[in-house]
Every structure is written in structure tokens, then in C-alpha cells.
Amino acid sequence: MRPNRAMTSVLASACWIVLNCGCARSEDADKSLEAKYAAQRERMVQQIVAYGVSDKLVLQAMRRAERHKF
């Protein structure tokens, strides 16, 4: 029994749509996580400033370092 070409085409199209929708949502989730981590880094830097660290280069580096990737 051979599969119907129309059915195969429909299934392939459906798979393509599902995969592309999943990828778009993943990018949005990544952006949301990046914003969350950036806010957490900024709070961390503010705490470090409160402890007396004032070197601008150190504080800039700490704001840029993506610690969640380590």
C-alpha cells in the first residue's frame, strides 16, 4: 500500500509549520530570559557598589559578564 502523495504533502507541511512555530517561541523565551538575567546582573552590581567598589571598569565588566552561561 503506497501512501497518498497529497497526504504526504499535508503531513510534511504540518511538520514544517509546527517546527517553525516552536522556534519562534524559543527566541522570544530567550529574549525574556536575557532581560531577566540583565536585571539580576544590574541588582548584583548595585549591591557591589553599596559595598564600596567604585572602579568603573570593574563595574562595566560585571554588567556585561553573562554569569548564567558559566
Predicted TM-score (pTM) of this structure: 0.55
Task: Please tell me the distance from the alpha carbon of residue 15 to that of residue 21, in angstroms, as a whole number.
Answer: 10
End-to-end CA distance of the chain: 53
Q: What is the largest CA-CA distance in the chain?
A: 77
In the predicted structure, residue 46 carries a pLDDT above the cut 90: yes
Beta carbons of 37 and 66 less than 8 angstroms apart: yes
Beta carbons of 45 and 62 less than 8 angstroms apart: yes
In the predicted structure, residue 4 carries a pLDDT above the cut 80: no
Q: Per-residue pLDDT tens for 7-36?
A: 777 777 777 777 777 655 567 777 888 899
Domain boundaries, the chain: 5-69
